[in-house]
């Protein structure tokens, strides 16, 4: 395992930046270990919801976790607004960095992550395998 320490800049899209970092690493498998920072609005898909909800305003990233694969990321996020309300769920495209995002990524060079349809859940789920 090796690590990437990322600092995202104002205006960066969180998901797109993490997908780009995985591609640039040359790896096909990684996990988010930790993530903090701020967003200028977020798109979060709540549990069981078919589409993301849009939360506007200045937000603090409280937690960020997930897996990164060439087939797509699976990210969970919790954020708080200026009144201390907390929202959490799947981080969708449209989570835009406000001042910074500081993220620690664990890259797993010996692994390949793919997302394949699982008939039990109906979703594209993680299919991890060691590289040959």
Domains in the chain (CATH in brackets) are 2-130 (3.30.1330.80)
Quick one: pLDDT at residue 56? 97
104-117: pLDDT as tens digits = 999 999 999 999 99
CA gap 69, 100 in Å, rounded = 23
Quick one: pLDDT at residue 121? 93
Quick one: pLDDT at residue 13? 98
Specify whether the CB–CB gap between 61 and 98 falls below 8 A. no
Contacts of 18 (CB under 8 A, 6+ apart): 6, 32, 68, 73, 75, 103, 105
Residues of the chain with pLDDT under 70: none
CA gap 47, 60 in Å, rounded = 20
Quick one: pLDDT at residue 125? 95
- Helix count and strand count (H, E) for the chain: 1, 8
């Amino acid at each position: 395992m090796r690590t990437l320490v990322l600092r995202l800049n104002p205006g960066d899209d969180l998901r797109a930046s993490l997908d780009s970092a995985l591609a640039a690493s040359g790896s096909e498998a990684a996990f988010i270990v930790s993530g903090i920072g701020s967003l200028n609005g977020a798109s979060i898909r709540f549990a069981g919801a078919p589409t993301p909800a849009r939360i506007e305003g200045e937000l603090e990233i409280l937690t960020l976790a997930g897996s990164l694969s060439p087939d797509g990321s699976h990210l969970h996020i919790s954020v708080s607004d200026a009144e201390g309300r907390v929202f959490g769920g799947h981080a969708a495209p449209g989570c835009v960095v406000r001042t910074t995002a500081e993220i620690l990524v664990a890259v797993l060079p010996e692994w390949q992550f793919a997302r394949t349809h699982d008939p039990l859940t109906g979703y594209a789920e993680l299919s991890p395998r060691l590289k040959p």
